[in-house]
Amino acid sequence: MSQREGSLEDPQADDSVSLLPHLEAKIRQTHSLARLLTKYAEQLLQEYVQHQGDPFGLPGFSPPRLPVAGLSAPAPGHAGLPLPERLRLDAAALAALPPLLDVVRRHQAELNPRVPRLLRRLEDAARQARALGAAVETVLAALGAAARGPWHEPSAATAAAAAAASAAGVFPAKVLGLRVCGLYSEWVSRTEGDLSQLVPEGPA
Amino acid sequence: MPAGRPGPAAQSARRPPPLLPLLLLCVLGAPRAGSGAHTAVISPQDPTLLIGSSLQATCSVHGDPPGTTAEGLYWTLNGRRLPPELSRVLNASTLALALANLNGSRQQSGDNLVCHARDGSILAGSCLYVGLPPEKPFNISCWSKNMKDLTCRWTPGAHGETFLHTNYSLKYKLRWYGQDNTCEEYHTVGPHSCHIPKDLALFTPYEIWVEATNRLGSARSDVLTLDILDVVTTDPPPDVHVSRVGGLEDQLSVRWVSPPALKDFLFQAKYQIRYRVEDSVDWKVVDDVSNQTSCRLAGLKPGTVYFVQVRCNPFGIYGSKKAGIWSEWSHPTAASTPRSERPGPGGGACEPRGGEPSSGPVRRELKQFLGWLKKHAYCSNLSFRLYDQWRAWMQKSHKTRNQDEGILPSGRRGAARGPSR
């Protein structure tokens, strides 16, 4: 996005010019947040597999990619969508993640009660996903493109479904947690990539 | 090999219908169904077993297309493929596994037993919990900081290694009445500790014990009975000051303040002082510094930096007959003795009471006497400094260090013959 030049005598141009720096600043901030969370999400994934035991951390480990109620991975065609549509999908996914991360944290509180760092990371991830999702929605609203993607605010049924999946046994609960942590990592990375296309060129 | 049952103490964590949760996942609006055509169920799900016991497990496949067989299936445990001789095909769709003499679980979240299809894909998993029931915790010790709280520590039985997550719960109750209470603030001073911050009664005994519980059972420690007043400790004495004693090259004066939290109750406090030379790790301890807030260290090396610490034992508080519990040592305070050519002998005792100018009845009287002497006897060189030098000279020339309590030997009054300044 390039900065529009406007005349200071033109009141409308004044408004546009005065709003743009704020919007650009917001975009930069949100992009920086997404970049930071991408790194945190990778760390969370590493810490998660470490405490589930092998084969979770082994290369080539490939559990069934069961769908998680209320959320899917970014579609292969995501990058080909218009940018506002991509950002809407990003925001919707980020809104769907916190209750799933909470379910995972509750499971891990039973399975790994003596690993407070993992529990803390899961709690932080839920909070961070919420914050990033809200920031992306703010950017969308400022761009006049606010609308939710196909996933609505997660309902109690969604979280209950995730909890029920883990009630099937400890191994499925571990797999679910891996899946959710993986989805979190994929979506924050996807959001960072989409926002990078909005970030104005040049120094902040 | 035992027929297909887990060990006698085994408990399964959960036994829900295995396919239902997967259906829930598919039905509740997931945008894309899983592509895995085969599913399977492992039985038992998440068993708990004693170390050394055996396990018989089965993997039953539900195939699509129909006709999926158990041929080609295999097992892994914690990512390692199990030898084929441990498996056998029970029927067309079921592969069995027999494990004997199980080791303790590798991680507390459970060992991952996985059933794989021929192509290596994961069909199902079950987590094994192999370990020991907890042994009786023991060696409970507790202390109260300034009578306001209670912290307890214990040792887990079997050195704590049960291979299973073991929960420790500190319980307490008033001995003759009241309900059981559970401590809530754990790991405050180490992994096996708990802190009770408030609402504790004095002058009445508590019963305290620890309960350990894991998937294989529970154990309870012996009951410890104590009165809070018998286990009181306090903060280290604050405001520790170490200073030279005039020009005396072998002495330092140590002063401190009674710990403020208990200052109104410390009628019989004991103190201990320890000191060391700056570049040494060996502390010398001065015991029996009873109920006073100053001490003079004697017999030190001249021209040497010393680190000094003080601690307090509030024994006898409110009439307690018990020994009391020493506080932590105060922060080290340093000072140096004046430099001299003459090395002084080592020592380890406080100077007798009244070792400070203007403190104690004997020195007060001496001061008055010296003042009178100066006025009436024209002994202008007389001073406390000279007196102290004489005392230092006396210490060096005597073999034993049993000084009397600051009382000058009879007949020795006036200017002391000793080393010149």
Q: How close is the nearest chain B Cα to the Cα of A100, in Å? A: 13
Q: Which residue type sits at B299?
A: G
- Is it the case that residue B195 has pLDDT exceeding 50? yes
Pick from A26-30, A84-88, A142-146, B329-333: least confident:
A142-146
**pLDDT for residue B66:** 56
Residues A55, B36: C-beta atoms closer than 8 Å: no
Q: What is the pLDDT of residues A100-109, one digit of tens each?
A: 999 999 999 9
**Do the chains contact at A158 and B114, CB–CB below 8 Å?**
no
Q: Which residues contact B205 (CB under 8 A, 6 or more apart)?
A: B174, B175, B176, B225, B226, B227
Q: Tell me which H or E stretch contains A192.
A: helix A170-196
CA–CA min distance A142, chain B (Å) = 29
What is the per-residue pLDDT across A112-123, written as a single tens digit (0 to 9) for each?
A: 998 999 999 999
Average pLDDT of the residues in A175-204: 90
Most B-contacting residue of A47, A171, A174 (CB-CB within 10 A), to test interface? A171
**Is the pLDDT confidence value at B391 over 90?**
no
Give mean pLDDT, residues B327-332: 94
Rounded to the nearest 10 degrees, the angle between the axes of helix A83-111 and helix A170-196 is 150
Radius of gyration of chain A (CA): 19
Q: Say what the ipTM of the complex is.
A: 0.82
Q: Chain B contact for A185, CB < 8 A?
A: no
Of the candidates B13, B34, B107, which has its C-beta nearest A65's C-beta? B34
DSSP labels, B301-327: PTT-EEEEEEEEE-TTGGG--S-----
Please, what's the b/e burial string for B239-259 (b: 16 or more CB within 10 A of its CB; e: otherwise)? ebebeebbebbbbbbbbbebb
Using a CB-CB cut-off of 8 Å, the residues of chain A touching B33 are 67
Sheet holding B270-277, edge to edge: B284-290, B270-277, B305-313, B333-336
How confident is the model at residue B416, as a pLDDT?
A: 32
User: For the whole model, what pTM was predicted?
Assistant: 0.69
Does B236 score more than 90 pLDDT? yes
pLDDT exceeds cutoff 60 at B36: no
What's the pLDDT at B380? 54
Helix axes A83-111, A156-167, angle to 10 degrees: 40
User: Are the beta carbons of B29 and A70 separated by less than 8 Å?
Assistant: yes
Q: Residue B30 pLDDT more than 70?
A: no
pLDDT at B114 over 60: yes
The answer, yes or no, to whether residue B412 has pLDDT greater than 60, is no
Contacts of A113 in chain B (CB under 8 A): 108, 165
Mean pLDDT score, A127-151: 84
B81 CB neighbour count, 10 Å cutoff:
12
**How crowded is residue B70: how many other Cβ atoms within 10 Å of its Cβ?**
22
Lowest mean pLDDT among A193-197, B34-38, B177-181, B194-198: B34-38
DSSP B322-369: S-----PPPPPEEEEPPP-SS-------BPPTT-STT-SHHHHHHHHH
The count of CB pairs under 8 A between chains A and B is 126
Q: For strand B294-297 and strand B87-91, is the pairing parallel, antiparallel, or unpaired?
A: unpaired
**Does residue A149 sit at the B interface (CB-CB below 8 Å)?**
no
| Interface touch B165/A150, C-beta < 8 Å | no
- Closest Cα partner for B252 from B273, B269, B282, B280? B273
Is A167 in the B-facing interface, judged by CB distances under 8 Å? yes
Q: Do A169 and B108 touch (CB under 8 A)?
A: no
**Nearest neighbour of A171 by CB, restricted to B28, B32, B112:** B112
Beta-bridge mates of residue B97: B57, B87
**What's the alpha-carbon Rg for chain B, to the nearest Å?**
37
Judged against a pLDDT cut of 60, whether residue B364 lies above it is answered with: yes
- A72 and B125 within 8 Å at the Cβ level: the answer is no
* Cβ separation B107–A52 shorter than 8 A: yes
Q: What's the length of chain B?
A: 421
Residues of A in contact with B110 (CB under 8 A): 53, 111, 170
| pLDDT of res. A5 | 38
Q: Does A183 lie at the interface with B, CB-CB under 8 angstroms?
A: no
Return the percentage of chain A with pLDDT > 90, whole number.
Answer: 61
What distance in Å separates the CA atoms of residue B26 and residue B52, rounded to the nearest whole number?
40
**Nearest residue on chain A to B45, judged by CA atoms?**
A169
Q: Which residue of B has its CA nearest to A108?
A: B109
Beta carbons within 8 Å of B90's beta carbon, 6+ residues apart: B58, B70, B96
Query: To 10 degrees, the CA torsion angle through B72, B73, B75, B80?
Result: 50
Decide if pLDDT at B355 tops 90.
no
Q: How many residues does chain A have?
A: 204
Alpha-carbon gap, residue A131 to B181, rounded angstroms = 40
- Contact between chains at A53 and B109 (C-beta distance less than 8 A): yes
The predicted structure's pLDDT at residue B157: 86
- CB-CB contact of B166 with B134 (8 Å): yes
Looking at beta carbons, which residues of chain B come within 8 Å of A183? none
B26 has pLDDT over 90: no
Q: Report the amino acid identity of residue A188.
A: V
Strand B48-50 to B122-131 pairing: parallel
pLDDT of residue A149 exceeding 60: no
| Residues 37-66 (A) with a CB less than 8 A from some CB of B | 51-56, 58, 61-66
